[in-house]
Amino acid sequence: MSKPKVILAFSGGLDTSFCVKYLSEDRGFEVHSALVNTGGFSEEELKDIEQKAYGLGVASHVTLDVVEKYYNDCIRYMVYGNVLKNNTYPLSVSAERVFQATAVAEYANKLGAKAIAHGSTGAGNDQVRFDVVFQIMVPDVEVITPIRDLKLSREAEIEYLKGKGVVRDWTKSTYSINKGLWGTSVGGKETLTSNGYLPESAWPTQVTKTGEETVKLHFEKGQLVGINGETMSPVEAICKLTDIAAPYGVGRDIHVGDTIIGIKGRVGFEAAAPLLIIKAHHLLEKHTLTKQQLYWKQTLGETYGTMLHEGQFLEPVVRNFETFLADTQDNVTGTVDIHLAPYRYQLIGIESKYDLMSSIFGTYGEMNNSWTGDDVRGFSKIVSNQTMIHRKVTDYAGK
């Protein structure tokens, strides 16, 4: 009789290593591990994780590369919407979790697995993000979460693995690092309290650049398609801009937010390219979109980001938001200049054939070419008319 198959979302860390042994040897599953690459692994790291998976006894291991899909189906919409959670965080990790869960669910369907497992604990957002996607995409497949269900401590996991003959250095690093295409999260003792900032040594990219430079970002219909005159794909541009800006210490911050499970949390992040792209894109939009476009984009962009952050990416209304956001980008084309220096950046300005700030129509505060003083006087009288009537009626009724 063949063993039932379980697909394990595998990272190679302590939690998923425990899951392999527990599911295969204690629960009797045939474990197939899947690592989903959203841009955070080198080729050497991927090979090392594969070796660890087979060393633990998995029946098969695959790397599911979703970097391009992640960009096309999500990151570009976060740029269109200028998504910064609480005006700070570019959703560096929360967004990619949805795509990791989706890829694992699709792989489970392909293999005809009876169960899916992940190594989330019961303490954070990721458990919800994975569970929600699995409930939507594979509702008839059992979801197993050994660490959460058994309420295991890190020490208990280590002792279990030692008992299974797994010898490895499980020394917990001082800081927890999660890297992806759209940034890197950094957690440590300073982020566990309400007061404290991460030390210089905690950041994955150290500050090595001491000079200053100006970078030109070229956008076409809202997407970054070139840097300093060189045309490239958006994914390549993100990687190149990270290489340019991260060594300046740009894009570092600590996000304070409301978790899905109802508690406050802090997390550090390093996201040089995402922050600069969003800020540059927003500046370009200020010049090329109308007041009403900017207003409604901000409203829907924030809602899009919140639903993505909370694992509701597959809700159909999110596709409606994406349609609107994409439709606003036709004229968001041009070049944005950014000045970089250690620990700071400055948006210099933009050049665009769609720039609505044109001297043909007037110069703010100095000269008008398309209206007269009498036009403004009449406009002011009309636009204030209803409020004037309201004030007079209210004053009269109060007497």
Domain 5-172 has CATH 3.40.50.620: yes
Query: Cβ(126)–Cβ(100) under 8 Å?
Result: no
Alpha-carbon gap, residue 110 to 113, rounded angstroms: 8
DSSP string, 141-169: SEEE-HHHHHT--HHHHHHHHHHTT----
Map out the domains of the chain as residue ranges: 5-172, 176-288+331-351
Q: Between these two residues, 276 and 370, which has the higher pLDDT value?
A: 276
- CATH fold for the domain made of 176-288+331-351: Argininosuccinate synthetase, chain A, domain 2 (3.90.1260)
Query: Cβ(269)–Cβ(89) under 8 Å?
Result: yes
pLDDT tens figures, 82-139: 999 999 999 998 899 999 999 999 999 999 998 999 999 887 888 999 999 999 999 9
pLDDT tens figures, 211-241: 999 999 999 999 999 999 999 999 999 999 9
Does 365 have pLDDT greater than 60? no
Query: Cβ(50)–Cβ(10) under 8 Å?
Result: no
- pLDDT band at 367; cut points 50, 70, 90: low
Query: Cβ(197)–Cβ(254) under 8 Å?
Result: yes
Alpha-carbon gap, residue 294 to 297, rounded angstroms: 5
Q: What is the pLDDT of residue 366?
A: 62
pLDDT tens figures, 17-48: 999 999 999 999 999 999 999 998 999 999 99
The strands making up 223-227's β-sheet, listed across from edge to edge, are 230-231, 223-227, 213-220, 334-341, 344-351
CA distances from 391 to 181, 380, 382, 386, 395 (A): 55, 16, 15, 9, 6
Residues of the chain with pLDDT > 90: what percent?
80
CB neighbourhood size of 101 (10 A): 26
Q: What is the pLDDT of residue 258?
A: 86
Average model confidence (pLDDT) for the chain?
A: 93
Does 173 have pLDDT greater than 90? no
Q: What is the pLDDT of residue 162?
A: 93
Q: What is the pLDDT of residue 203?
A: 95
Q: What is the mean pLDDT of residues 353-363?
A: 78
- Two structure tokens written together for 270: 């390093």
Q: What is the pLDDT of residue 167?
A: 84
Query: Cβ(116)–Cβ(142) under 8 Å?
Result: yes
Residue length of the chain: 399
Contact partners, residue 104, CB within 8 Å, separation at least 6 = 7, 9, 34, 36, 64, 116, 118, 134
- pLDDT band at 1; cut points 50, 70, 90: low
The three-state secondary structure class of 341 is strand
Query: Cβ(67)–Cβ(103) under 8 Å?
Result: no
